[in-house]
Amino acid sequence: METARPRVANLDEAALARLRELEQELGGLVIVAYEQDYRVADLSPDQLQRLQEAEEQLGAILVAYERT
């Protein structure tokens, strides 16, 4: 069974230009736009701790999403 995952949004040229403008306004950040099927998960303290421990073990940044 395939796990559902957030998809990067397919922005038109105007939306992409606005995103790039926002990146510059916010100090040169990199912003990733996702389709609106997901939102960042509201984790319990235990879940957050486990996610942070996994980040340390994996040497990666983890972001948990849930379907909207």
Summarised one tens digit per residue, pLDDT across range 30-42 is 999 999 888 899 9
The partner residues of 48 in beta bridges, in order of sequence, read none
User: Using an 8 Å Cβ cutoff, are 68 and 36 in contact?
Assistant: yes
| Torsion of Cα atoms, 20 then 25 then 29 then 30, to 10° | -20
* pTM greater than the 0.75 cutoff: no
Domain boundaries, the chain: 1-36, 37-68
- Specify the higher pLDDT residue, 3 or 9: 9
How big is the chain by its Cα radius of gyration, in Å? Answer: 15
What confidence tens digit (pLDDT) does each residue in 10-60 have?
Answer: 999 999 999 999 999 999 999 999 998 888 999 999 999 999 999 999 999
Q: What is the per-residue pLDDT for 2? A: 61
- Cα separations (Å) of 35 from 2, 17, 20, 46? 18, 17, 17, 28
Q: What is the per-residue pLDDT for 68? A: 82
